Amino acid sequence: MTCRMANKYNGWCKHLPSHADYEEGYCLFHAPKKPEIEHDVQNFNKRIFDHIREAKNAGARCDLSGTIFPGPINFSKIELPAMVFSHAEFTDEVDFGGALFSEESDTIFFHTKFKNKANFLGTHFYGNVFFKNTTFGKIADFWSAKFFKEADFENAKFRDVVDFLGTEFINGVFFTNSSFKNTANFKSTIFKKKVSFDHASFEGAVKFDIPNFNDEVNFRNIFAPDAQIRFLEADLSRVSFIGTDLLAIKFEQCKWPSKRSTLYKRLWVFSRQPIFPRFFRSSLADVLYDEIKTEKHLKEMTYHDWFVESSNEYGRIEDLYRQLKQQSKERHNETEASKWHYREKEMYRKKLLRRRIPLCSVLWWYWAISGYGERPLRAFLAIFFWIGITTAIMNLDWFGLQLLKYVSVSNYYESIVGYSGSFNPQKTWFAILNTIQHALFIKEPLYKAINPIGQTILSFFTRIIIPIQAALFAFALRNKLRR
Ligand SMILES: [Zn+2]
């Protein structure tokens, strides 16, 4: 009688005799493990190795799909052909330590069940490996294993501890939708190409200590309400977190990607002058990779798509920054909090086209003249900007400045109105001094405006705008010094 499972698994076992202890008709490999039947594990394993040898000699891949391994089995340090373990069940420990999987074809652990410890210590996978939908019931150990091609752990379930200490993924690796019920250790794991944890769920401690990321890391949409995820000394230059609650993640001594501030770009030519090097060098800000990626992505869009998408895209990154800020505040790290606060506000500004147009929104001004109350130097320089603007306006012929009658100092000019061909430093200084005097509410300034309109404009700038700017400077300075 042929094995009843033969059809299900492509008939690889159909030439095998039926197992004597089973009336239902199973071959030795597919016979379910039953407590009342004494399994001769040694003989079973010997038959497995015979089967592997046959496949190897024939240069074919070894199909063991659906096999139920009744006891522990040891494949350590064996050179294996391409293997198919789909729907197989390892009821006891299995050791693939130091085993070498051929590159001829894919190794498939599809829907495989490891009911006990699975050891892949130092295993080399030369071909693609699929652990799709595989369940690891006990500890899964991948210490120093090496995956030369793609490794796919999509939907895999790690019910116990899983250890990727020093594991090397030379090609892409996917943990999409996989679930980690206990500790997951990615300490010093080497990811040479892309890695994805999209929609993965974590429940225990997850350690990314000094991971070696070399390409994009997708850490989006992670579900980890009670997990303790930690990134230690990780290079986050290309790690994407959209849709993940960053409050669940602890970042310690990580390297964030950096970006030139918008102001720097606006003043690019100007900022290359050596007079302001420190001011502009400090404009190199830590950001999330998602911000850089999104901006690049949005730039490539048509105007219509941009209009539809940008608000959402920036909104999602704004959420991430808010979470980072909250986290920093909870740890009383005010410097970090300030850094993320600035980014959060930037995303909020960029979210709406209206807010992005220069000069046209309050938020734009708040950004430009004080860096959202976080840039004292910028706010300080802006005071001089307003003094300059006011002086320049008051120098126009229409409402220019005239010497107040009761000020009788012979050196002063009767009037300093108008731009002439030649530059008069003394006149210019008096004009600036006059603006400062008005801003300081000095009762008898050097000059007053010729007409009421001029006087109103002068008052508006010196009694409202410049004091507000000074207050913003004080506010920004306090924010800086509080930290
Ligand atoms: Zn069978």
Asked whether residue 261 carries a pLDDT value surpassing 70, the answer given is: no
**Centre of ligand 1 from the C-alpha of residue 62, in Å:** 14
pLDDT at 412 over 80: no
Question: Residue 110 has what pLDDT?
Answer: 94
Taking the centre of ligand 1 as the mean of its atom positions, its distance from the CA of residue 132, in whole angstroms, is: 22
Per-residue confidence at 16, pLDDT binned at 50, 70, 90? confident
User: What pLDDT is recorded for position 305?
Assistant: 85
Q: Kindly give the distance from the C-alpha atom of residue 16 to the centroid of ligand 1, in angstroms, as a whole number.
A: 7
Give the helix/strand (H/E) hosting 141.
strand 140-141
Average pLDDT over residues 163-172: 96
What's the gap in Å between 178 CA and the centre of ligand 1?
30
DSSP 47-79: HHHHHHHHHHHHT--EE-TT-EE-S-EE-TT-E
CA of 27 to the centre of ligand 1 (A): 4
**Ligand 1 centroid from CA 30, angstroms:** 5
Distance CA 169, CA 52 (A): 26
What does DSSP assign to residue 186?
A: -
Nearest one of 122, 111, 115 to 90, comparing CA atoms: 115
Q: Is the pLDDT of residue 51 over 80?
A: yes
What's residue 423's pLDDT?
76
Please state the rounded mean pLDDT for residues 466-472: 95
Give the Å distance between the CA of 88 and the centre of ligand 1: 11
Give Cα 460 to chain centroid, integer Å. 46
Extents of the domains making up the chain: 41-255, 262-364, 376-482
47 Cα: distance to centroid of ligand 1 (angstroms): 13
Contact 432, 387 (CB under 8 A): yes
- For the segment 110-128, what is each residue's pLDDT rounded down to a tens digit? 999 999 999 999 999 999 9
Is 379's pLDDT higher than 60?
yes
Give the model confidence (pLDDT) of 310-366 as tens digits: 888 999 999 999 999 999 999 998 888 988 999 999 999 988 888 888 888 888 899
The CATH topology of domain 41-255 is: Pectate Lyase C-like (2.160.20)
Q: Ligand 1 center to residue 227 CA distance, Å?
A: 42
Distance 156 CA to ligand 1 centre (A): 25
d(CA 87, CA 473): 68
Q: How far is the CA of 118 from the centre of ligand 1 (A)?
A: 24
What pLDDT is attached to residue 450?
A: 79
- The pLDDT score that the predictor gives to residue 470 is 96
Ligand 1 centre and the CA of 7: distance in Å?
9
**Residue 293 in tokens:** 């990626």
Cα(396) to centroid(ligand 1), Å = 98
Question: Ligand 1 centre from 99 Cα, in Å?
Answer: 25
Q: What are phi and psi of 108, to 5 degrees?
A: -120, 120
pLDDT(277) > 60: no
Distance, C-alpha 408 to centroid of its chain: 67
Ligand 1 centroid–CA 154 distance in Å is 27
Name the percent of the chain in helix, strand, coil, to the closest 5: 35, 20, 45
Q: Assess contact for 244 and 221: CB atoms under 8 A.
A: yes
Contact by Cβ (8 Å): 290, 221: no
Contact yes or no for 159/134 (Cβ under 8 A): no
Query: Which pTM was predicted?
Result: 0.85
User: Buried (b) or exposed (e) across 85-118, using 16+ Cβ within 10 A?
Assistant: bbbbbbbebbbbbbbbbbeebbbbbbbbbbbbbb
Band of residue 302 on the pLDDT scale cut at 50, 70, 90 = confident
Give the range among 49-58, 281-290, 373-382 with minimum mean pLDDT.
281-290
pLDDT for residue 50: 93
Residues 6+ apart with CB under 8 A from 156: 131, 132, 133, 134, 135, 136, 175, 178, 179
Q: Contact, 356 vs 347, CB < 8 A?
A: no
pLDDT (average), residues 14-24? 81
In this predicted model, what pLDDT tens digit does every residue of 178-223 receive, in sequence order? 999 999 999 999 999 999 999 999 999 999 999 999 999 999 999 9
152 CA to middle of ligand 1, Å? 27
pLDDT band at 38; cut points 50, 70, 90 = confident
H helix intervals, 371-465: 376-394, 425-439, 452-459
Tell me, what's the pLDDT at 152? 97
Q: How far is the CA of 41 from the centre of ligand 1 (A)?
A: 17
**How far, in Å, is the centroid of ligand 1 from the Cα of 9?**
8
The CA 32 to ligand 1 mean position distance, Å, reads: 10
Decide which of 452 and 115 is more confident. 115
Expressed in angstroms and rounded, the spacing between residue 323 Cα and the centre of ligand 1 is: 54
Ligand 1 centroid from CA 65, angstroms: 9
Distance of CA 69 from the midpoint of ligand 1 (Å) = 12
Three-class SS of residue 406?
A: coil
Distance linking the first and last C-alpha atoms of the chain: 80
**CA 98 to ligand 1 center in whole angstroms:** 29
Over the chain, what is the mean pLDDT? 88
